[in-house]
Amino acid sequence: MLARLKPEKLVLDWRKRQQARVAVRLTIETTLDELPRVYTPAVFASKCATVYQHIFDAYADAEHNSYAAA
């Protein structure tokens, strides 16, 4: 998923622009939708929201993230 997000979606200040945030969310949903269908639609939506929130919190852009210092 990060391989899809980093080159084009996690650009500088992506969190400040609505269009960029929507593009990140759609990439997450599309990627997770490719996995086998084992969740109900409600659980799938919850999983997508959780992953999006993690990406939002951890990745300022493709090169600056909370894991870089580790």
pLDDT digits over 15-29, tens only? 999 999 999 999 999
Encoded tokens for 3: 């391989």
Of 22, 39, 44, the residue nearest 9 (C-alpha) = 22
User: pLDDT value at position 12?
Assistant: 87
List of the chain residues with pLDDT < 70: 69-70
Compute the distance between CA of residue 46 and CA of residue 26 in angstroms, rounded to an integer.
Answer: 14
Structural domain contains residue 67? no
Beta strands in 1-68 (DSSP E): none
Structural domain contains residue 27? yes
Structural domain contains residue 39? yes
Compute the distance between CA of residue 61 and CA of residue 39 in angstroms, rounded to an integer.
Answer: 30
Structural domain contains residue 35? yes
User: pLDDT value at position 26?
Assistant: 97
What domain range includes position 23?
2-58
Structural domain contains residue 66? no
- CA 69 from chain centre, in angstroms, equals 20
| pTM exceeds cut of 0.85 | yes
Total structural domains within the chain = 1
Burial grade of 65 (CB within 10 A; 0-12, 13-18, 19 or more): middle
